[in-house]
Structure 1
Amino acid sequence: MNQNQQDLYQFTVGLGDDALVLSHRLSEWCSNGPYLEEDIALSNVALDYLGRARLFYQYAVEIEGANKTEDDIAYLRDERQYTNLLIHELPINDFAFTMVRQFYVDVFYVFYLEALTASTDARVAAIASKALKESRYHLKRSEPWIIQLSQGTQESRRRVLDAVEELENFVGELFVMSEWEQRLATQNIAVDRQQVKSSWDEYVQRIFKQSDITINPSVLQIRGGREGVHTEHLGHLLCELQYVQRAYPGLNW
């Protein structure tokens, strides 16, 4: 692959990794949701992210042209080869933590994917267009939960505040540009993440303000996901995610 192809490959794999890892996290709520409708809803959101991961991985293997499949990318790489941003791999913790994390990423993806639909790469733009419709729906779900939990009981509010404090360390990485993204952005293939940062800050702060909760503007605290440096949690997640494929090689999605 030439440099441009290598950049595009890393770009699509990274976005695929983000979606796959978060999909697996959300799937952990299956049969564990607070009530049946929410259990089903979270499982459906997980499936949306799984489908998004497949689209990015399928494009990545076409770019690489090495006779690989999407399964090879998803199941046959080690922890340091994954390039998902760290916020996606954090454990689900309690329901409030999951919904605050989901609200954060939903707001980000609505702004980010909207910009990415203008990509000069037709395939990237098409995937972004499909994913944007899903993310808009996801945000319609997560936003009311923030208000409900923040204005609910003292316990639910405390859990929201705990989630906000913990996630403050990880949200800044959403706006970090990798070297290959920077190069692709000059060709209008990728999006400058800094361009959506102010919109994200404004939106998130406005929603939390309704519950008298102050959210600090996003600041980079912890990073490393795009470089393959992860939290301790990803290795455990991959043990579950990859078990069947590694135990019975050659299976297909």
Structure 2
Amino acid sequence: MPANEQHDLIEYLLRLGDTAVVQGQRLSQWIGHAPALEEELALANVGLDLIGQARNWLEYAAELLDDGRDADRLVFLRQEREYRNLLLVEQPNGDFAVTMLKQFLYDAWHFQVLHGLSSSSDERIAGIAAKGLKEVTYHLRRSSEWVERLGDGTEESHARMLKAIEQLWRYSVELLESHESEQRLRASGVLGNQDDVVAAWQSKVADVFARATLPVPAAAVPFYLSAREGLHTEHLGMLLAEMQYLPRAYPDATW
């Protein structure tokens, strides 16, 4: 594999892996705080699914980097500016409406991305994507149902969903943009068609929002932050400080 294509692939694997692990970490913060025991278990299970997927992506990235790091070191020993996760998932959980809207926007994108990657010319990527797609199919069904239930529920739940949209929608811009490094991977058959991902995401969001009696805002526009460039919101640094504390404090510890 040419060096520039390998660099593009590593960056893409980090984006998938970092996004999954950060969202998994966010969901784990609901343990002991969820509105019902059933939801606490569901949130924890979705988080575990995502962390497992993150390990698969990051193990592949570590092999390509070949610098002595493994998936654990990539997660626990990189700085904030080295993370490539979507800005959306690093946002605080907020209330249950914010958490479920964030999960839905991510799931609708994640499902389409994995669907495309399951036909990748890279057999390792195709295998990881096909396995993850089974889990994300459930994630998307669950988060869609919650958005509908909250949006078309009580006056209070509807108002909270409107507030959640106002808070999170700007970060959806990263779900739909196409980076030149990814365009090169598409040309070689590693990635699927971005236009298909965008169209399917927009269609899914429009359908679920309609059933939830929620308005679909105008398309979000790029702003000064960019996870691809390591420019994150202030929330990621605080999340990493919590997540990375133990392995940084005891770097030689083993289970």
Q: Scaled by the length of structure 1, what TM-score is found?
A: 0.95
Q: CA deviation at 1:2?
A: 1.5
Distance in 2 (CA, whole Å) between partners of 1:237 and 1:202 is 32
Equivalent residue, structure 2, for 1:99? 100
Cα distance in 1 for residues equivalent to 2:180 and 2:212:
38
Conservation of the 8 A alpha-carbon contact between 1:181 and 1:191 = no
Matching residue's letter, 1:206: D
Native 8 Å contact 1:174 1:193 kept in 2: no
1:242 pairs with 2:244: yes
How many residues are matched?
253
Asked whether the equivalents of residues 86 and 225 of structure 1 are also in contact (C-alpha less than 8 Å), the reply is: yes
Residue of structure 1 equivalent to 2:36: 35
Q: Which residue of 2 aligns with 1:77?
A: 78
In 2, Cα distance between the equivalents of 1:251 and 1:2? 35
2:138 is the counterpart of 1:137: yes
Cα distance per residue 1:152-187 (max 9 Å; x no partner): 221111010011112211111112223321211110
Instruction: Give the TM-score taking structure 2 as reference length.
Output: 0.95
Which shifted more, 206-215 or 113-122? Answer: 206-215
Give me the CA root mean square deviation.
1.5
Q: Is the 8 A contact 2:149 2:212 kept in 1?
A: no
Question: Which residue of structure 1 lines up, in the alignment, with residue 16 of structure 2?
Answer: 15
2:251 alignment partner AA: P
Q: For 1:116-137, what per-residue CA distance to the aligned partner results, in whole angstroms no more than 9, with x for missing partners?
A: 1111000111111111111101
Does the C-alpha gap of structure 1 residues 213 and 241 become closer, same or farther in structure 2, counting only changes over 3 Å?
same
Paired position in structure 2 for 1:186 = 187
CA apart distance, 1:109 = 1.3
- Identity %, equivalent residues: 42
| Alignment gaps of 5+ in structure 1 | none
In the alignment, structure 2 segments of 5+ residues that lack a partner are: none
Q: CA deviation at 1:217?
A: 5.0
Partner of 1:123 in structure 2? 124
The aligned counterpart of 2:221 is: 220
